[in-house]
Amino acid sequence: MKSIYTALLLTIALSTTTLAQTFRFTAIPDQNTARLKERFDKIASYLSKELDVDVEYIPVKSYAASIAAFKNNDVQLAWFGGLSGVQARRAVPGARAIAQGEEDMAFVTYFIAHSSTGLKPAADFPDAIKARTFTFGSKGSTSGRLMPEFFVRQHFKKSPADVFKRVGFSGDHSKTIALVQSGSYQVGAVNFAVWEKEVAAGGIDTTKVAVIWKTPAYPDYNWSIRGDTNAAYGQGFVEKVQNALLSMKDRNLLDSFPRTRFIAADNRMYEPILKTAVDVGIIEK
């Protein structure tokens, strides 16, 4: 009887170990899906070597889906924006931000405009965007929705729906650029890093669309990990994941974000994002 009991315990232990062998992560779909898969499949390969476990990137179709995957333990790690990270960590006890890009504590949003508007770059908030058509990015985006909406409300003392002729949500930053460049929307809000990368790659016709204003800086993207990860993958595993991210040196991997390097992060850094989301009405107190 004792041997049967021991065998049963061993079977359960082996089963648990097998389940925990594959470490899964996702990322908010903030730009072209094919580019995201190419980038994060390479990150999965890197992490697999560094952590000595199988690592799999799980693509999702929306910001809400990335939060749900994290909440439901379909993934244990995620590359979130500031807002989605706050929302996800609030839903998972013990979850914490462990890394961010060096640029992410001073992130900015670009307001871009089609050339037909006649709007020009300026240091002050562009009052002349009122009564134009305006597109945000995803409804769950920090740089594409939360922060630009905050600055619009701060300046006009009105909601975007009461400021603009028409308001849209493109879904991601690449689409925002395309919509404004084509003239489908006159003005839009876009992640500065995506804009700069697209310009460098020759993907933007700057005779048709240009940056007219840069927001003040705010904290944004982060790698967040579930609070029960050590229990599933072994004591110290979270620290191993963090160290792997912080020690990433491959220029091709870092440039794909694009980030200079990853640095340590913690939940306190994103308290301004939580406060802004409460002020705008996206998160309830």
Q: What is the CATH number of the domain that holds 166?
A: 3.40.190.10
Tokens representing 104 are 């992410």
Whether pTM > 0.85 for this model: the answer is no
pLDDT in tens, 163-217: 999 999 999 999 999 999 999 999 999 999 999 999 999 999 999 999 999 999 9
Structural domains of the chain, count: 2
d(CA 121, CA 129): 12
Domain membership of residue 275 (yes or no) is no
Q: How confident is the model at residue 238 (pLDDT cuts 50, 70, 90)?
A: very high
The pLDDT score that the predictor gives to residue 3 is 52
| Boundaries of domain holding 53 | 2-104+219-268
Q: Are residues 95 and 14 in the same domain?
A: yes
Q: SS3 of 201, please?
A: coil
Share of the chain above pLDDT 90, in %: 87
Contact 123, 89 (CB under 8 A): no
Whether 273 is covered by a domain: the verdict is: no
Question: Residue 255 to residues 166, 197, 200, 244, 246: CA-CA distances in angstroms?
Answer: 35, 9, 12, 17, 15
Q: Is the pLDDT of residue 41 over 70?
A: yes
- pLDDT of 16 > 90? The answer is no
